[in-house]
Chain A
Amino acid sequence: MRLLAALSGGVDSAVAAARVQAAGHDVTAVHMALMRHPAATRTGSRGCCSIEDASDARRAAARLGIDFYVWDLSADFEDLVVSDFLNQYSIGRTPNPCVRCNEFIKFQVLAERAQALGFDGIVTGHYARLEITQDGQVVLCRALDMAKDQSYVLASAGPEALRCCLFPLGEVGSKAQVRAEAEALGLPQADKPDSYDICFVADGKTGGFLRERLGVKPGPVVDQSGVVVGHHEGAYQFTIGQRRGLRLGRPASDGRPRYVTGLDMANRVVRVGPAQALMTTAFAGREPVWLDAAASAQAAAADGLTCAVQVRAHGVAVDCLVRAEPGGLEVHLEQPLRALASGQAAVFYQADRVLGSATIEH
């Protein structure tokens, strides 16, 4: 097959490309330029947007002997990811830009260009297992290495986009194995550190980035009884469950720590309360995307769908009951979860298999 391997500059995507190449496919590498003017001096590994990442990707492709190109997707990235990121914060939600980048940039813009240019599929270094069953169903499962599992950030891409993908790292036992493969292949990034930060926030300080792009919008911090206990410079800087950075003048009457429990963006009010106020046993899910048709049908049936739900990238899944409602889903949790943030993804699992996902509305 003619495959397009998306090389971020990191070790995972390079080894993924090497694996499909070794399997005999015709592989071409592409590095997505997501920022038109990347911070040239940025060091270390902060995602896939720096000049050194582009250079690492180019060196990996050269090492593997595959054609390498840079595609400028910066306009799409700004429109579909960065603008949305700012917009979501400004309306009091907590966006997940990596989920969105997968959904709209990698598995939509990139995939469509690849298709138009004659490729049969795209290859990425995501840790997840993907299978197409005999009857054509797309089955997405957690990676063998649970510590690296990325099925959570892939779920919302939907079955049609995933159908064109290959995730060669889903079956590896551990990251150490990937690094060993990279070293054996002589890939320059064998020992490059993993990236965790948001790639377009150059210094890793999201608060500063938001303040710079959204401006200072001061307002009060109020407790559960409505008493003003402090002030802030922009409610968008806070996320549900946050404790640090509140800088409250006086302690709570019960002496216990206070957390952000709500954001009223229209009135610029940040609400705080005790830890127990963060616990949730139910939430709504907007815009569900189903990978498993049977699960979708079950959610719509009278009994609802019994499964597990994961609400953050590195969280554990908890048992739940999902019911389809007009306009979305209603999710009842078996055990309460802490600090659910609107805008984050809820991904439904049955054992290792991804059933579907929705956006949390809480």
Chain B
Amino acid sequence: MPDWAGCFLTNWPASGGGPGGVILAGGIEQVNTKRPGDGMMSQMDGDIYLDYAAGAALHPAALEAYASADVPANPHALHRLGRRARAVLDQARADVAEATGAGPAEVIFTSGGTEADGLAVQGIYLARQSGRRRPYLLIGATEHPAVRENARLMESRGGQVVEIPVDSAGVVSLAKLERHLVRHGAETALISVMAANNETGTLQPVDAVVELAGLHGVPVHSDWVALLRKQRLDFGASGLAAVALSAHKVGGPVGLGVLLVQRRVGLEPLIGGGGQERDVRSGTVDARAAAAFAAVLRQDLESAAELDQLLTPLDELISSHPALTARTPAWGHLPGLRNFTVADARGETMVYLLDKAGLAVSTGSACSAGVAEPSHVLAAMGLDQATCLSAIRVSIGPGTTPEDISRLIEALPEAVDRAQAAESGPAKPKHSRT
């Protein structure tokens, strides 16, 4: 094995980095700070987790409930052992209902938030086609793909998707919604508007949407995945026809979601089967996972205001740094989440640089094969493609400390400089070959 360093000379400037050069090295050396015990397990040794919007670590109460749940048989079985399992599932259903202001019969367990959204959008759309054709599916322009793509799937079933435009803060236009409803309310199958956007944290005026929709008799579904446990949900009082929830965003297990649906709302199934959940969702329900999610929901809500205040230093940096622009509205946003764009840099480069400094953040938008797609949310807010690819999302949770945010504040300016330098190189041939 030859010594590679021996046959290798670099012409890259020493100031350009190398051992001990920059934020990368400095950051990594300092990351091994232990977090105070906070009830959440740290995700990675020493790394600071600032991507709670993508998923939180399993809450100890969830782990405990999962492990100790008395599930000796299939909860849908009729024998005594089955009834024991069923009791766990029923209790979990009651707990979920209690925590969300719903009735137990309104709780449908699913495989996650995506299935819950899909069941609501497709299921309500299809059920609303009986008796009268109602082609329109009205969705917010910044809806999660779980809503948007399921709505688009209905185009092959005669559906017509209409996106309700948003303003530069990402808030849906009630005027445009009203205009549509006045003209086509009777032909509209459903409206879907999320409670809080997962990328920017923009809160939507769901109450006003429900009120408008009510005048035209159109059911409203709302994706509550981002807002769950940040704000109290009272499904019964909301007037919403359906609400989608996901367990793993709040410390529950991955692979479990809930669709809350009013009893009077008709639903067609997504897939056929035994119809274990209200005759519309098939497949054996994971009673242990349901118990684990319920255990999280039984925990006291943390103060969302306190959580959000942790991010004040980041807000200050974003507003004072010339290259950074806040994309999360100052008012009316999801507590604990900030989205900002970086001028002349790529979000993926920022994620890389911050990762090397031991800070786990996200670009916020969907990935395919690890490549960031331009954010459709920011595009709907009127931003150009380069800006859409320059976004960074910081989302915090119960484990986050003020020191974590200080570390981010320290690392960000250097990362911005580096990421901008990485883009400034000539991305064209040095010598032309035609």
Identify the A interface with B (CB < 8 A): 1-2, 19-20, 22-23, 25-26, 28, 31, 33, 36-38, 51, 54-55, 58, 67, 69-72, 74, 76, 79-80, 84, 87, 100, 104, 108-109, 112-113, 115-121, 130-132, 136, 160, 163-164, 166, 168, 171, 287, 359
Contacts and interface: CB of A to CB of B under 8 A. Distances in A.
A118 B17 contact: yes
Given A31-B370, A100-B433, 18 more contacts: A1-B19, A2-B17, A19-B4, A23-B4, A25-B4, A54-B369, A72-B348, A84-B433, A112-B422, A112-B425, A115-B16, A116-B16, A116-B424, A118-B24, A121-B12, A136-B9, A164-B11, A359-B433
Contacts of B305: none
Contacts of A67: 355-356
B425 A109 contact: yes
The 3 closest A-B pairs by CB, nearest first: A118-B17, A70-B370, A112-B425
B5 A23 contact: yes
Contacts of B300: none
B1 A163 contact: no
A116 B134 CA distance: 55
Given A115-B16, A117-B422, A72 B371 contact: yes
Given A20-B4, A23-B5, A72-B371, A287 B422 contact: no
A273 B8 CA distance: 50
B12 A115 contact: yes
Given A1-B8, A163-B9, A36 B371 contact: yes
Given A58-B370, A115-B16, A121-B10, A1 B5 contact: yes
Interface residues of B, number: 43
B8 A132 contact: yes
A101 to B, nearest CB: 12
B371 A70 contact: yes
B342 to A, nearest CB: 15
B430 to A, nearest CB: 7
Nearest to A168: B4
Nearest to B5: A1
Contact of B4 (A33, A76, A166): A166
A132 B316 CA distance: 49
Nearest to B369: A54
18 contacts: A2-B18, A19-B4, A31-B370, A33-B370, A37-B368, A69-B370, A108-B430, A112-B426, A113-B425, A116-B421, A117-B17, A117-B352, A117-B418, A117-B422, A118-B21, A121-B8, A131-B7, A163-B10
Nearest to A74: B371
A70 B4 contact: no
Contacts of B372: 72
A76 B427 contact: yes
A160 B7 CA distance: 15
B131 interface: no
Contacts of B18: 1-2, 118, 120
Contacts of A160: 11
A80 B429 contact: yes
B19 A26 contact: yes
B37 interface: no
Interface string B390-434: 000000000000000000000000000010011011111111011
Nearest to A75: B427
A51 B19 contact: no
B433 A287 contact: yes
Interface string B350-381: 00110110000000000011111000000000
A313 to B, nearest CB: 17
A120 B10 contact: yes
B36 interface: no
Contacts of A130: 7
A139 B239 CA distance: 75
Contacts of B322: none
Contacts of A80: 428-429
A121 B10 CA distance: 7
Interface string B1-42: 111110111111000111101101000000000000000000
A166 B422 CA distance: 21
A200 to B, nearest CB: 15
